[in-house]
Structures are given as C-alpha cells and as structure tokens.
Structure 1
Amino acid sequence: MSAPLTWLAPHDPFPGVEQTWGESDPIPGLLAAGGQLDTEHLRHAYSQGIFPWFSAGQPILWWSPDPRMVLQTEAFRLHRSLRKTLQRFRDTPGCEIRIDSQFETVIRHCAQTPRDGQDGTWIVDSIVQAYCELHRQGDAHSVETWVDGQLVGGLYCVALGHAVFGESMFAHANDASKIALAALVALCRQHGAPQIDCQQATRHLASLGAQEMPRQQFLAQVQQQRRRPRMDWRFETVYWSKLFP
C-alpha cells in the first residue's frame, strides 16, 4: 500500500527524497504537494534535487524522480548537422548568443510552446513570477538565440553555484533551441560545470547525449557543485571552441 502523499504548509521543510513515490505508487516521482512557491523554497528544493511541476488548477506539486535525466556536458552529442548549424551561426553576422537579456520573454515563450502529450502548460503565472524573481536574485538564467536583432529561441535554467538545472526551451526558428542548449554546454565546459539536469527522460534529450542517472549519484554531484562560486554568466564567441575548433 502506498505511503500517503506529504502535504506541506507554507513554511514546512521538504521531506527527504526517499519518501518520493516509486514505481508501485500512484504517481512515480511525486514527493509532496502544497507549500510555498518563492525563491527561498525554490533554492531549498533544487539543492535537494526537488523541482515544482504542476498545471493550472492544481496545488504546487514537488518532484524528485529516480532515475534522473542528466546531460553530462562532456557527453553532449554534436551530430554532423548540428555542428554545421553551429558553425554557420558562429560565422554569420547578426547571429549571436545573449544571456539574461530577456529572461521573462524567454520563460513566457517557453510557456506558450506546445509539447507532445501535454494539454496546456505547467509554466503557469505563479511559476513565471517565482522564476523571474529568482532571476533577479541571480539564480536563474536565460540563454538566448538572436538573429538580426530578433529573439528566435532559447532556454531558461536554474544555477546554484556550478550546479545547473535545465528547465524549458523554445524555438521560433529551425534549431534555435538546440543552438541555445549547445551554448549552455559550451559555457558549462568553459567553467568546469560537469552536468546539466534535464529532470525527466525524453527521446529528444537522449539524442543529444543525456542519460538517466540514479538519484543518489545525481544528488551527490549537486551537493558538490552547488558549493562552488556562481558561474560567470556571460557568453563569449570563443566559447564555441569548447564544442569545435
């Protein structure tokens, strides 16, 4: 019989991730419901391998799946077609990567992007507000693909020290989100950040080199990396050399 789901009052601490529902429970990966969605709770959550994911009309739902989908930055799979796309992007005037210039726009574009198998979005207004505040406090970032002065794709993520947690991507042009992800990988390699959390397995992420990792191994890496100083969230063109000459 499944253990009852933990319901959190606004200031309750998170339960240990060992209490996360498993494969024999109603919703594998779900840890708790309720609580409070603010920057303090988000930082506590991510530092423990927990993240919020819920739809409009639902309570705040907190997750900690096991295994965890993780992209080791050295394992990023640069397919031939993507390599050509990145080289062309790097060498074309008017194409550039910007970081944190339009964070709220990026997260709202992510919210409006249709997803296979999803009706509506989990990036509800309360998520947008909380992560925008986390961004203002320096712990959430956008990596943006710009062409001729237009934002055409990007992603947003959370970063605690050198622990990087990918959240969502969008593209309004071919490969624009892949370009942003490649830039994030290059930035992480530049600063020695070893992995990017991808939360849950998808075929798309697997095609780019992400693999499932036991949660305890993932958490051990998070604890080590979050104690390091904040990364320098600027992107220089020379960082592309971390992916190709």
Structure 2
Amino acid sequence: MFNWLMPVRTVLDEAEKPVRLFFRDDDAGWVNDRLYLLLDEFAYAGMPIDVAVIPRAINHHLVDELLLRWQQGRHLIGLHQHGYGHLNHESAGRRCEFGGSRSKTQQKVDISKGQVMLRAAFGNALEPHFTPPWNRCTAKTVECLEELDFHLLSKDVTAAQLESSKLKQVPVHIDWSKILKTSPTPLVTLGEAIAAHIGCNAVTGIMLHHANMDAESLKPLAELLAVLVGHSNTQGIRLRDTLGYGTECKQSEKLPML
C-alpha cells in the first residue's frame, strides 16, 4: 500500500455506495508518444479514460492508433473534441480559445470546423462532448455547442458556471499536473485532494495532461489506478456515463487547496 494513497483507501473503505470517478486526458495531438504510454497504463489497469482531441493537431498515425484502441476496448476509451487549434485569442488576462474577445460567429466557425474534422477522422467513435482549452469558455460558447448538437461540456469545477437547458455540464475537480508542479508535498496533497472529492461528489473528475507525464511520472498514476481497480467500492466511468449524475458538494465546503 502506498502511503500517499492511504486517505483514498480510507474513503473507499468507508463509502456506503460505490465511488464514481472519471479520468479526462487533454491535448491529444501533442506529444503523442506520451499519450500512448498513458493509455497503456489505463488499458493495463482496465480503467476507463476520456481523451480530449485537438482537431487541428491530429494526423493519420494518431487517428489510426486511437481508433484501434477504441475498437479493442470501446468501454475503456472515449474520444471527444478539445477546442479547435488550442490557440489563445485573448490579448490580456488568462489564456482562452473561446473567451470574451471572440464573437459567437467566430467561436461557432471554429467549433464547427473542428467537429467536421473529427467526425471525418473518427466516425462513430467520436462522442458529442466538448472540452474547451484551458478549461474555460463563455455563454456564447454554450450557445454554439447547443446549436451544433453537442450533449456535454466538461471544464474545470472552478470555472464560471454557465447556464444551459440542453447541455450537460460535467466538471473535473482534480488538476493532476498542477498539483504535482505547485505543491511542496505533491503526492500527499494529491492523495488528500482525491480523497476529499471522492468523499463528497456523486462523480469526481480527474484531469490529466499526458504531455507533462514521462515514464517516471506515470508511476504515481499507476499506483492510484492499482488502488482504485483493486477496491470493490470503485466505479470507473466514462464521461458519457455521467449523464444523470451531479456534484453533491459545494465549492464552499472545506477541500484541500489545489
């Protein structure tokens, strides 16, 4: 048993019903050799993962590799759209591809072009979900997604809440790479954050960025996956499976600072 994961194990042991969680990896199309290593870890563990694909970053090798993995285990991998080109269009403030400086028309053109590209590449393997680069977007983005028949939007739980009567919004709660980069005790902080969220959320989302994860830094992830799949109180799900579930704990509740 890995000491940093003791809080996670404790929550799983004490949970009155199965703990549901999903993993979302962003930026498919960049540093794809590391993406494949990450997917190997999930395939080995038998844990599902959703992959957010940048339309303008795809190539034939990436498409073939992801389709092969999807065909081999459709219940274990989901593919969806990650913006269009993952480009920052803001001249000031936080980076954003679909931010306040862009009109609805500009946003819709990019989202639509990306949707067409990914549908042509992945066919039925592509799911009608959208993750905005840098995990934030605007109300105009939501309108575009509704009009383009997307069903689900996934961004960071700390991002501004956006109203929608058609679009299911499923946030991620844990930024794996950010914690490892910024915490003086990264694994301890990571274990505590995961335990806190799975203890109070109906569904907990964990965000990964494979580009930041070499073979050595995949080891803690492998340790977490081993604990999760080895416990009868864990239910690893896909983004599409979150429809119908919500987030029970409030941002105001005391959770570890990320």
TM-score, normalised with respect to structure 2: 0.28
Structure with greater helix percent:
2
TM-score, normalised with respect to structure 1: 0.28
Structure with greater strand percent:
1
